[in-house]
Amino acid sequence: MRIPDPSFSPHDGLNKALELLASPSCDVVELPFTLPESGLGDKRVLEMLSGHVLGKAARLGSPTSLAHMDPPTPWITWAMALWNASLNQNMLHEMTSPFGAQAEARVLSWLVPYFGMEGGHFCAGSTIANLTGIWAARDAVGIKKVVASQAAHLSVEKACRLLGLDFVKVAVDRKGRLDCNRLPNLDDACLVLTAGATVTGAVDPLDLVGAAKWTHVDAAWAGPLRLSRSHSGILDGIEAADSVAVSAHKWFFQPKDSALVMFRNLDIANAAISFGGDYLSKPNVGVQGSRSAAAISLLATFLAWGREGMAQRLDHLMQMADSLADAIEKSDHLELWGRPQTAINVFRPTYSSTAELVKALPPGMLSTCVLDGQTWARSVAANPLVDMDLVVERILAASREDA
């Protein structure tokens, strides 16, 4: 290989990549079936892949995109992702990530007070954040079982399996919240409360925080509402939790893989989840070893938008979800499962099947879910660019046609 190797230097090919991002090529070139013996060259590959990667992806910022918790991402995060990829800092080694470590500390110091926490770290998602919180609970205070509602995210049960802990599922009430009257003894338990259940957006009663030996709040979805003056009250009580998980790649509009796990008592938690190693200058905290500087992207977003800019987008999405709920409630052709608690609507057609309704609408508009054995349509307001008037119009029209 020639030195310098141009594949590792800044290149005008990056401009080409930006051009294609703005207008992806429509031709979809067949990919080689076997590993190519000789390379096709960087620029040729950009062209070849743009039709696939850019052309075939779901458009999460489209005016009708409302199906999932995955948001479109602001362009400042694309820039940070590019810088991060080019530098490839590793948060495991402070030497390779002097600014990454500072960025993570700074953005955490901004956010932890909203959750009553002392500190924490970034990780690849709330699946990992939940595992980390429950791991800390097991090894810091010796909990023996995990108690959560039947609507808790599957990552909670996964964590129990990995950690060898019993998992006790508690029924939910009519609004999808953990039913306080069905709780087992919590003296030796980690209670996991969900703030924004994945299917319904329900928030478990957070006045239960502190009722168990350790309380972990899975705020993967609704955690960011803490930054909204109008909606932070939905999460009141979270500040007394022992640990909290928030997915930044959901309602903080970050590219994957970005989430936070936070602890009320950082020293106690970190002591339980840290490993030293001869080759490490500081202990490795948490589940992951090598880890990206994803915090830089969240730092950039908060610098660009401020708390207010973040809150405005969340408030807008809460309002969009409410206006959809109003329209569903008014319609004779649709049944609303319940008022949205955290911008998720669950509903179904009165006179036809949910599957037919969803099929009649643009792909990516609605997802489906099963509640009490029935199939429902589900919308998640994660997309600030959604055109809710258009969405309402399409849903109402489809529900009338189906009837």
Ligand X SMILES: *Cc1c(COP(=O)(O)O)cnc(C)c1O
Q: Which residue is nearest to ligand X (CB)?
A: 125
243 forms beta bridges with 216, 263
Please give the C-alpha separations between residue 283 and each of 91, 100, 180, 277, 380, in angstroms, as whole numbers: 11, 16, 39, 7, 39
| CB 84 to ligand X: min, Å | 18
The pair phi, psi for residue 131, each rounded to 5°, is: -60, -40
| CB 346 to ligand X: min, Å | 14
Closer residue to ligand X, CB minimum distance, 108 or 382: 382
| CB 221 to ligand X: min, Å | 4
Closer residue to ligand X, CB minimum distance, 120 or 125: 125
Closer residue to ligand X, CB minimum distance, 73 or 130: 130
Closer residue to ligand X, CB minimum distance, 361 or 380: 380
| CB 144 to ligand X: min, Å | 23
Three-state SS at 335: strand
| CB 152 to ligand X: min, Å | 7
377 forms beta bridges with 347, 368
DSSP string, 187-234: TTEEEEEEBS-TTT--B--GGGTTSSSEEEEE-TTTGGGGG-TTTGGG
| CB 254 to ligand X: min, Å | 10
| CB 125 to ligand X: min, Å | 3
Closer residue to ligand X, CB minimum distance, 130 or 331: 130
- Cα three-residue angle 123-124-126, rounded to 5 degrees: 85
| β-strand pairing of 344-349 with 374-380 | antiparallel
What proportions of the chain, in percent to the nearest 5, are helix, strand and coil? Answer: 45, 15, 40
Cα 347 to its chain centre, rounded Å, is: 22
Closer residue to ligand X, CB minimum distance, 97 or 130: 130
In the complex, the residues that contact ligand X under the rule CB under 6 A are 69, 125-127, 130, 153, 155, 194, 196-198, 218, 220-221, 247, 259
Closer residue to ligand X, CB minimum distance, 69 or 186: 69
Closer residue to ligand X, CB minimum distance, 294 or 361: 294
First to last CA, the chain: 67
Which amino acid is residue 21, in one-letter code? L
Please give the C-alpha separations between residue 160 and each of 67, 101, 132, 134, 393, in angstroms, as whole numbers: 29, 30, 11, 8, 44
| CB 156 to ligand X: min, Å | 8
